[in-house]
Amino acid sequence: MHAETKPTDHKAAALAAFKDLQREPGVTKPDPILVVDNVVRRFGGLTAVDVKHVEIQRGSITALIGPNGAGKTTFFNQLTGFDTADAGEWTFNGSRMNGVAAHKVARSGMVRTFQLTKALSKLTVIENMRLGAQNQKGESFFRALLPSSWRAQEDEITARADELLARFKLDAKREDFAGSLSGGQRKLLEMARALMVRPELVMLDEPMAGVNPALTQSLLGHVKDLREQGMTVLFVEHDMDMVRDISDWVIVMAQGTVIAEGPPDTIMSDARVIDAYLGAHHDAPLSEEELEEQLQEAEAALEAEVEEEAGK
Amino acid sequence: MDWFNIMVTTVEAAVGVETVFYMLAAIGINLHFGYTGLLNFGQAAFLGVAAYGLAVTVVTIGLPFWVGIGIGLASVILLALLLGIPTLRLRADYLAIVTIAAAEIVRLIFRSVTFKDYFGGSDGRYGFSEGFFAMNPFSKGEYGIGPFTFNERVTWVLLIGWILVGLSCLVIYMLMKSPWGRVLKAIREDEEAVRALGKNVFSYKMQSLILGGLIGSFGGYIYALGYASVQPDAFSTELTFYAYTIVILGGAARVFGPVVGSMIFWVLLVFIGNLLNELIEAQYITWMSVNQIGAFRFMLVGLGLVLLLVFRPQGIFGDKREIALDAR
Ligand SMILES: Nc1ncnc2c1ncn2[C@@H]1O[C@H](COP(=O)(O)OP(=O)(O)OP(=O)(O)O)[C@@H](O)[C@H]1O
Ligand SMILES: [Mg+2]
């Protein structure tokens, strides 16, 4: 189906970029597309986000993980202009993005999807897709009244939308109202629609939630395809198998702050991460499986350390 | 009982001045509410500002008719900006509150003693329509088919009124077939999703508010010319709610919804009014008097609206599928 099993140029490049990085929160990346500094968002007494420094490597797939309520969605909202941060600065492609309106953020090439899917129910699937295209002549009031001025562009947009729909296996639903789609199909539609914007950085908030396993595999394939096409992906996900499968780098948030960064295969053995996920229950595993898991993780961590020592 | 008279007035109501002026108000509301999801409860102010813009320019200032029309339209755009700039960034209900209050403020200013020299107080203004009737191509007489006739002045107003209705429907039709209309309909569904796709939601809502206000203002002119006068109380909140009833009756977000809605609304209202009148005059009904008919009709409108929302929420032209999806 997808050619992602053998490492491709883009994957190799991404992995190479991360190879020698320190596994510390806020570590600087060789070629960051997004650089975030001191972003704070408080809700009353609760500090939902307090990120000191984070960089997202261009052309990579970065996972943002963390327990429920860690502030991942809130962090997305700040970066994309859907909520106003109390403090902080961030640059995308070198230009400042704090205080920029959401639609301008999207236009500049930083496009997000929502954890709670926002399919436009009373528009058909194909209309949802067309809406994503940028710089549409027919979207200006006066030119809208002259169909000849936008017909050709509309045809191009439709062709591109149909291609994407086919890729996301939604072509059979083309003329259906988006409201008639299943939850998983809506996730697919939202992702496909975001791609109509032609983003440079795609920010996906739990794209796989509620998607069945078979479809998940093809979704993972799509995400890897995005990297092959030169896009940068930042995504939130709870399922560690998926994170391990597709991400080049993992950023871990807990209680609003970035507590750890590292490659996907070792990040879960980081003591800070285990702490954050298990909290007070760290010493008291809840089930057999969890005990197994913890022991294995501890072992893996030890092995990794031994290997590192040996390497020096 | 004079059934013939009831029939004639009822049929005339299907195309009459009142029907057309509400139709235009409702086409504007349909753009705001039906297509964009904007709750503009101040449509009466848009009609009033246009009608008074014309009347004041001609009567108080003494400028020509066309200047009056221009000033009326400019005032409508200004009003839309004034209402929209502070509220369109906020949640939908804020616009509703602000517009309903603004419409009342506008009406009270028109009717105030302080500005009587400009707006004429509660008597309003008249004597501004000569410029319009000077252009009347119909010579003196009655025009129509069979018993359904209008005099040359009403015929001229109706001709212009229906041309405006036709043009407005054409513009709405073309816009809703275009990418511009797509953005509007998407905003109605979920503003944030539209922002996430790089569209300036505020700007589109403003465009919708202005265009719907301008179409509504045509209704204001038709009223002013049809009755050759303006009074502040003609532009009360009742007008806005009738227009909403018409939109829901015909089917929101349908091009011809307001057209059919307004015709049915006025035919029913005039028919019921006339029927009651005849029944009371003929002493068939004794539990109410002729001057209670107006209030009674009002109650029937409310009852009808409730029944409509319960049994056919999508209106006459509406698409059941689109409504049913809300249940998900
Ligand atoms: N609008 C809001 N008002 C008040 N508190 C909020 C608001 N939005 C988020 N929070 C709080 O901020 C914290 C972070 O929430 P957020 O949705 O960002 O978590 P998350 O990491 O995305 O969690 P999940 O994995 O469950 O989606 C939570 O404690 C939440 O209760
Ligand atoms: Mg979340």
Contacts of A177 in chain B (CB under 8 A): 321-322, 325
Q: Is the CB of residue B328 less than 8 Å away from at least one CB of chain A?
A: yes
Pick the ligand that lies closest to the CA of residue A204. Answer: 2
Asked if A180's CB is within 8 angstroms of B196's CB, the reply is no
In a domain, A130, yes or no: no
What average pLDDT does range A134-143 have in this prediction?
Answer: 95
H/E element holding B65? Answer: helix B65-87
- What ipTM does this complex have? 0.87
Contacts of B77 in chain A (CB under 8 A): none
Q: Is B31 within 8 Å of B215 (Cβ atoms)? A: yes
**CB A255 less than 6 A from any atom of ligand 1:** no
Q: Ligand 1: which residue has its CA nearest to atom 5?
A: A43
Between A196-200, B194-198, B271-275, the lowest mean confidence (pLDDT) is in B271-275
What DSSP string describes A156-222? Answer: HHHHHHHHHHHHTT-GGGTTSBGGGS-HHHHHHHHHHHHHHT--SEEEEESTTTT--HHHHHHHHHH
Q: Which one of A271-280, B59-68, B303-312 scores highest in mean pLDDT?
A: B59-68
**CB A59 less than 6 A from any atom of ligand 1:** no
What average pLDDT does range A227-246 have in this prediction?
Answer: 90
What phi, psi does A285 have (nearest 5°)? -60, 145
CATH code (residue A25) = 3.40.50.300
How far, in Å, CA of B203 to CA of B211, rounded? 12
Relative to beta strand A257-262, strand B125-126 is: unpaired
Gap from CA of A33 to ligand 1 centroid (Å): 25
pLDDT tier, A209 (very low <50, low <70, confident <90, very high otherwise): confident
Residue A297 has pLDDT above 70, yes or no: yes
Please indicate, yes or no, whether the overall pTM of this predicted structure exceeds 0.80.
yes
In a domain, A146, yes or no: no
How far, in Å, CA of A191 to CA of A235, rounded? 12
| Domain carrying residue A113 | 2-119+181-286
CB pairs under 8 A between A and B: 108
Q: List the single residue in A with minimal CA-CA distance to B189.
A: A120
Asked if A120's CB is within 8 angstroms of B189's CB, the reply is yes
**CB A147 less than 6 A from any atom of ligand 1:** no
Q: Residue B327 has what pLDDT?
A: 37
Between A1-15, A163-177, B57-71, the lowest mean confidence (pLDDT) is in A1-15
- Among B31, B170, B180, pick the best mutation site for testing chain A contact (most A Cβ within 10 A): B180
Residue of B171, B180, B192 lying closest to A140 (CB–CB): B180
- Which residue carries 């001057």 as its tokens? B291
Q: How many domains does chain A have?
A: 1
In a domain, A293, yes or no: no
Q: Ligand 1: which residue has its CA nearest to atom 10?
A: A48
Q: Is the CB of residue A40 less than 8 Å away from at least one CB of chain B?
A: no
Residue A281 has pLDDT above 60, yes or no: no
Q: Encode pLDDT of A76-100 as tens digits.
A: 999 999 999 999 999 999 999 999 9
DSSP state of A124: B
Q: Is the CB of residue A225 less than 8 Å away from at least one CB of chain B?
A: no
Q: Is A176 within 8 Å of A114 (Cβ atoms)? A: no
Q: What are the beta bridge partners of residue A49?
A: A41
Residue to mutate, A39, A46, A64, A240, ligand 1, most ligand atoms under 8 Å from C-beta: A46
What phi, psi does A279 have (nearest 5°)? 55, -135
Structure tokens at B76: 């409508």
Chain B closest-CA separation from residue A144 CA (Å):
6
Asked if A127's CB is within 8 angstroms of B328's CB, the reply is no
Residue B57 has pLDDT above 50, yes or no: yes
Q: List the single residue in A with minimal CA-CA distance to B182.
A: A131
Contacts of B199 in chain A (CB under 8 A): 103, 131, 139
Contacts of A81 in chain B (CB under 8 A): 195
What DSSP string describes A224-283? Answer: HHHHHTT-EEEEE-S-HHHHHHH-SEEEEEETTEEEEEE-HHHHTT-HHHHHHHHGGGGG
What are the residue boundaries of the structural domains of chain B, listed by start?
3-235
**CB A252 less than 6 A from any atom of ligand 1:** no
What average pLDDT does range A291-308 have in this prediction?
Answer: 76
What phi, psi does A262 have (nearest 5°)? 170, 175
**CB A5 less than 6 A from any atom of ligand 1:** no
Gap from CA of A65 to ligand 2 centroid (Å): 10
Residue B22 has pLDDT above 60, yes or no: yes
Cα separations (Å) of B279 from B5, B283, B290, B293?
A: 13, 6, 10, 11
Q: Encode pLDDT of B172-219 as tens digits.
A: 999 999 999 999 999 999 999 999 999 999 999 999 999 999 999 999
Structure tokens at A232: 């940068």
The percent of residues above 70 in pLDDT, for chain A, comes to 92
For residue A83, give the ligand 1 atom closest to its CA. Answer: 1
Q: Encode pLDDT of A90-138 as tens digits.
A: 999 999 999 999 999 999 999 999 999 898 999 999 999 999 999 999 9
Cα separations (Å) of B137 from B57, B109, B159?
A: 24, 36, 11
- Among A82, A92, A108, A118, pick the best mutation site for testing chain B contact (most B Cβ within 10 A): A118
In a domain, A100, yes or no: yes
Between A25-29, B48-52, B75-79, B100-104, the lowest mean confidence (pLDDT) is in A25-29
Asked if B171's CB is within 8 angstroms of A150's CB, the reply is no
Q: Residue B322 has what pLDDT?
A: 58
* CB-based contacts of A280, cutoff 8 Å, min separation 6: none
For residue A238, give the ligand 1 atom closest to its CA. Answer: 25
